[in-house]
Amino acid sequence: MRTIQRQHGYLPADALRALAERLETPLYHVQGVVSSFPHFRLSPPAPVEVRVCADMSCHLRGGDRLRRAVEANIARTAQAGVVVKPVSCLGRCDRAPAAAINDTIVDDLSTASLVGHVDAVLAGGSVPPQEAAPPAGRLLLDPYDGERPYQAVRDLIASRDTNGLLASVKASGLRGLGGAGFPTGTKWEHVRRAHGDVKYAVCNGDESEPGTIKDRFIMDHAPHLIIEGMILGGIVVGARTGIIYIRHEYERQIEAVQHELERCAEQGLIGPDVLGSGIAFDLSVFVSPGGYICGEETALYEAIQGNRAEPRNKPPHSATSGLWNRPTLMNNVETYAMIPLIARRGAEWFRAQGRGADSPGVKFVGVSGHVTSPGVYEIAMGTPTSELLERAGGVLGGRALKAFAPSGPSSGYLPASLIDTPLDFPHMAAVGSMLGSGALVICAEGTCMLDMALNAVRFYRNESCGKCVPCRVGTIKLTEILLGIAAGRGRREDLDLIVDLSHAMAETSICGLGQIAPAPITSVIKHFPDEIEAHVMDRQCPADVCSMAE
């Protein structure tokens, strides 16, 4: 389907019928898959389609104003063939605001620069490619200091000590760094013990939540560590096929990983006979058709299998019934990239890099929003949030800090008074939030927290797959309530309904999207009650952001 759309700009009906015939599958199945991914089009697009990111970090850095300004410019100049509309997070939170012009992403935009790009495309030109920012110095993550010898794989092939490597991963205290924080060694052990002749190793590089950009950085600067971690994991659990799943917006990162895979194949590090060991491990890239829900592991499996990206009911879990219902090891980009470091330096060395027994290792955190130097920072696990904010240059423009989200919208918002909270799993849980995937979003004084909650809840509404009623209906209802409050129609009963909805969604939604979708507004109600009170009871927005009128 991606190939067809690249060829035609959309998916013509006759091409879909031909595809269904070639695959010997019903046409309704093909159409169902198409309808589940927002990236696919069923009709020809406008000559120039401008999609401006509307989510969290871009919202804080003027994305909505940018979209309105470009719309006004197009209307004023009567430019035909240009369509402007909002789009979900493009993964450029450190260079907000961002937009996509005919699927080419541009970032760090002003009205003048975006208008210039549009004019260039209208004139038959193209948007210039943007390069990856170099890392600020040596990465502690990389035990090879930029070289790519894959020594950890060579050592494991020579020793065959898979038990020893598994023990090191468990002793390191490494937890899943994609959001859930499940102990990595335990997950590996479950897959290793699972019965079955066919097993898979999958890397989740979807990374579609607003504020989350650190996996993109790792794919840019250390793709060899992701690949080596997957080879090691595959050998340990008995998987012979690996798949790196990457969101389609990450074109440069896809190329970097593909190039490194070609290099590995030439050196015999992957393929039917890894380094002459008799062990097979094939590794390839699968490019996501798009959609935040694909970050949920079972929805990701369904996408790879050519189905609608809808989460499965659990149990069974991935360790016994993952991809193609086979035992599957699923970790995210950052988690796999940590494995060579543990293998080469040892579990105790890895633990010692953190700030405390409950904060082992290192962590990558994307910092965005109202911050002077947004970007991806490598920190010791357990680093106080205030220290990371200082490293990132402090709050933009010297303004006071009002709030922060430790991990994008799913973590909810915390007040400035909690800025010294260490960035690790236990400390963030203790204040009612989570470390999650590591996406620190900063909100300066003057930000309307109701507006930020609405922005985040609307993102979840837009990205819900619609499979389960609590999420499909709940996200719509939450958005309607918040829109009503922002327009001056709020009632005290709305707050009670939000609490009831949040509880129902957390308890009954199939996957994490529905379970955490209320977190932005419930956290604002908890930590910023006076601001909510002003909106609901006084019909006033203290930040003068909400219209408070029909």
For the cut 80, the answer to whether the pLDDT of residue 115 exceeds it is yes
For the cut 60, the answer to whether the pLDDT of residue 550 exceeds it is no
> Which residue has tokens 């050196």?
267
Q: What is the mean pLDDT of residues 274-296?
A: 95
Contact 368, 57 (CB under 8 A): yes
Report the DSSP pairing between strands 282-287 and 241-246: parallel
Q: pTM of the full predicted structure?
A: 0.95
The region, left, alpha or beta by phi > 0 then psi within -120 to 50, assigned to residue 364 is: beta
Crossing angle between the packed helical segments 251-266 and 223-237, to the nearest 10 degrees: 60
Separation between Cα atoms, residue 211 and residue 292, nearest integer Å: 13
Q: What is the mean pLDDT of residues 470-494?
A: 97
Tokens standing for residue 535: 């909106």
Residue of 363, 125, 380, 344 lying closest to 229 (CA atoms):
344
Q: In sequence order, what are the residues at sequence separation of 6 or more whose Cβ sits closer than 8 angstroms to the Cβ of residue 272?
A: 280, 282
Label residue 136 by pLDDT band (50, 70, 90): low
pLDDT at 135: 74
Q: For the beta carbon of residue 262, count every other beta carbon within 10 angstroms.
A: 11
What digits encode the pLDDT tens for the residues 325-347?
Answer: 999 999 999 999 999 999 999 99
Phi and psi at 87, nearest 5°, equal -145, 155
Contact 502, 481 (CB under 8 A): no
Separation between Cα atoms, residue 311 and residue 324, nearest integer Å: 14
Label residue 80 by pLDDT band (50, 70, 90): confident
Phi and psi at 193, nearest 5°, equal -85, -15
What's the angle, vertex CA 161, arms to CA 156 and CA 165, rounded to 5? Answer: 80
Separation between Cα atoms, residue 484 and residue 94, nearest integer Å: 31
- The amino acid sitting at 41 is R
Tokens standing for residue 36: 């589940």
Q: What is the mean pLDDT of residues 404-432?
A: 97
Give CA separation, 22 vs 33, 300, 307, 383, in Å.
16, 24, 16, 54
**Bridge partner list, 285:** 244
Separation between Cα atoms, residue 192 and residue 328, nearest integer Å: 9
Question: In a 3-state reduction of DSSP, which class is residue 133?
Answer: coil
For the cut 60, the answer to whether the pLDDT of residue 456 exceeds it is yes
Which of 283-301 are b and which e, b meaning 16 or more Cβ less than 10 Å from the residue's Cβ? Answer: bebbbbbbbbbbbbbbbbb
What digits encode the pLDDT tens for the residues 155-180?
Answer: 999 999 999 999 999 999 999 999 88
Residue 529 CA, chain-centre distance (Å), reads 29
pLDDT at 547: 86
Tokens standing for residue 510: 């199939």
Report the DSSP pairing between strands 375-380 and 362-369: antiparallel
Contact 317, 227 (CB under 8 A): no
Separation between Cα atoms, residue 187 and residue 505, nearest integer Å: 27
Q: For the beta carbon of residue 7, count every other beta carbon within 10 angstroms.
A: 11
Secondary structure (H, E, C), 24-61: CCCHHHHHHHHHCCCCCCCCCCCCEEEEEECCHHHHHC
Separation between Cα atoms, residue 149 and residue 146, nearest integer Å: 10
Q: What is the mean pLDDT of residues 65-94?
A: 93
Residue of 321, 332, 239, 322 lying closest to 282 (CA atoms):
239
User: What is the dihedral sign for C-alpha 136, 139, 145, 147?
Assistant: negative
Label residue 130 by pLDDT band (50, 70, 90): confident
Phi and psi at 157, nearest 5°, equal -60, -40
Residue 62 per-residue DSSP state: T
> Which residue has tokens 């005919």?
102
Residue 241 CA, chain-centre distance (Å), reads 24
Question: In a 3-state reduction of DSSP, which class is residue 69?
Answer: helix
Separation between Cα atoms, residue 309 and residue 303, nearest integer Å: 5
For the cut 90, the answer to whether the pLDDT of residue 132 exceeds it is no
**Bridge partner list, 439:** 366, 407
**Bridge partner list, 378:** 364
For the cut 80, the answer to whether the pLDDT of residue 209 exceeds it is yes
pLDDT at 549: 65
Separation between Cα atoms, residue 435 and residue 342, nearest integer Å: 21
Tokens standing for residue 140: 């502690």
pLDDT at 289: 86
What domains are defined for the chain?
2-35 (no CATH), 48-122 (3.40.30.10), 151-349 (3.40.50.11540), 362-444 (3.10.20.600), 449-536 (1.20.1440.230)
